[in-house]
Amino acid sequence: MAYGIILSPIKWRLVGKVAVITGAATGIGQATARLFVAHGAKVVIADVKDDAGQTLVNELGTDCSKYIHCDVSKESHVAAAVNLAVHSFGKLDILYNNAGIVGSLSPFEALPVDEFQKVLDVNLLGTVIGIKHAAKAMIPAKQGVIISTASIGGSIPGIAAAYSISKSGVIATTYSASAQLTKHGIRVNCISPGLVATPLSLSHFRNLNPDLSEEQFEKMVDLENFSNIAGARSTPEVIAKAALFLASDDSSYISGHNLVVDGGYLTNRSFSFYSNLSS
């Protein structure tokens, strides 16, 4: 028996779907919001960057997008974002836990505990809170998709210890949540990007090299050191396409999966480049 792969029509993979995307005002979240709307979804943009978030809504249109100020470390903010989606568009089909911060680059012996806690609160606790409130909205409908942004830093050590630890926790949370929620028809997956040219990653590298310009950083990301696929580039749009796949019915039999999107970096490289950059 021959089996073929049938993909949804390219332009309409999320028709009728409603999504909440955290950290959606810039970077990967912004690219994902644009792509989801282009594929027919209605999107709640949840972020702490109010001006950028509202500008994106103005671009996408208020008929298919809403903005809400949302600090994902605060449960009431996340609950309000989910409620806005349900109140404005009638339901919640997709949650993308994308908001995150890098935090301190201090070695363990000098790591400020309050900064460490802040990274955990945003990256890990924020993911847990998002899954909790998305699940509450999705369980009655017996369907839904939850995606979180992890990182290859959650699988191999990096100079930002708190970030790596938090992202490792995101991967573990994905496995645990999937184990519990698939019985309700809810799929839970995460994406582990490699280095992507975003405002967040640029600010991180400027902690190592304060004189690093945006143009220099973009060229650095394109270097062979960060991808093993000839001619391929790491951009927010690349990660957005991975999120679209996981959000759509094309991945209907996938749950509890950590989708690594790093150009093959994880299997071939290490984080040794940090020492070179900071020297």
- Is 274 among the residues known to form the active site? no
* Residue 144, phi-psi category: left (phi > 0), alpha (psi -120 to 50), beta (remainder): left
Burial (CB count <10 Å: 0-12, 13-18, 19+), residue 52 = middle
Buried b (16+ CB within 10 A) or exposed e, 191-224: bbbbbbbbebbbebbeeeeeebeeeebeebbeee
Q: Are 203 and 102 within 8 A, CB to CB? A: yes
> Residue type for 197, please?
A
Indicate the SS3 state at residue 228: coil
Q: If you count them, how many residues does the chain have?
A: 279
Among residues 163, 164, 168, 192, the one annotated as catalytic is 163
- Is 167 among the residues known to form the active site? yes
Helix, strand, coil share (%) of the chain residues, nearest 5:
50, 15, 35
- Is 164 among the residues known to form the active site? no
How many CB atoms within 10 Å of residue 132? 14
Among residues 49, 167, 168, 201, the one annotated as catalytic is 167
Distance in angstroms (rounded) separating the CA atoms of residues 117 and 21: 23
Q: Are 102 and 200 within 8 A, CB to CB? A: yes
Distance in angstroms (rounded) separating the CA atoms of residues 153 and 89: 35
Among residues 151, 164, 166, 201, the one annotated as catalytic is 151
Question: Which residues have a catalytic role annotated?
Answer: 151, 163, 167
